């Protein structure tokens, strides 16, 4: 995603794809309290679809245990690939 404003559209597409592939519904959505997740359109969509929303407390990334672990794994793999290819440090950000 290039901007946070695309989260709602992306989520609707993701939901449709996952439900079609698995035959199961999304019942709970966990997220932070970012504006992209608290917009009225997103809220209304979740109510309409019967999706319970759970928010973490602001500025407490430790509540995002699984997400933080996955993010660390992805970043570590990306850094390993950058190092393996000998790319300069300015590209690592």
Does 37 have pLDDT greater than 90? Answer: no
Are 51 and 65 part of one and the same domain? no
Supply the range of the domain harboring residue 65.
60-93
Q: Dump pLDDT digits (tens) for 64-93.
A: 677 677 788 888 888 888 888 888 888 777
Sorting pLDDT into bands at 50, 70 and 90, what band is 45? very high
Do residues 66 and 35 lie in contact, with contact meaning Cβ atoms separated by under 8 Å? no
Tell me the angle at which helices 7-22 and 40-49 cross, rounded to the nearest 10 degrees.
20
- The count of domains in the chain is 2
Is the overall model pTM greater than 0.85, yes or no? no
* Residues belonging to the chain: 93
**Regarding predicted confidence, which is higher, 13 or 63?**
13
The answer on 30 and 9 residing in a single domain is yes
Are both 49 and 68 inside the same structural domain?
no
Tell me how far apart the alpha carbons of residues 63 and 55 are, in angstroms, rounded to a whole number. Answer: 10
The top-scoring range by mean pLDDT among 9-23, 31-45, 73-87 is 9-23
């Amino acid at each position: 995603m290039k901007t946070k404003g695309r989260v709602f559209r992306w989520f609707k597409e993701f939901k449709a794809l996952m439900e079609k592939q698995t035959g199961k519904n999304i019942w709970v959505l966990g997220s932070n309290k970012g504006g992209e997740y608290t917009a009225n359109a997103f809220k209304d969509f979740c109510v309409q679809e019967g999706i319970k929303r759970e928010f973490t407390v602001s500025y407490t990334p430790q509540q995002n245990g699984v997400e933080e672990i996955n993010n660390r794994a992805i970043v570590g793999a990306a850094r390993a690939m950058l190092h393996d290819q000998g790319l300069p440090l300015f590209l690592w950000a």
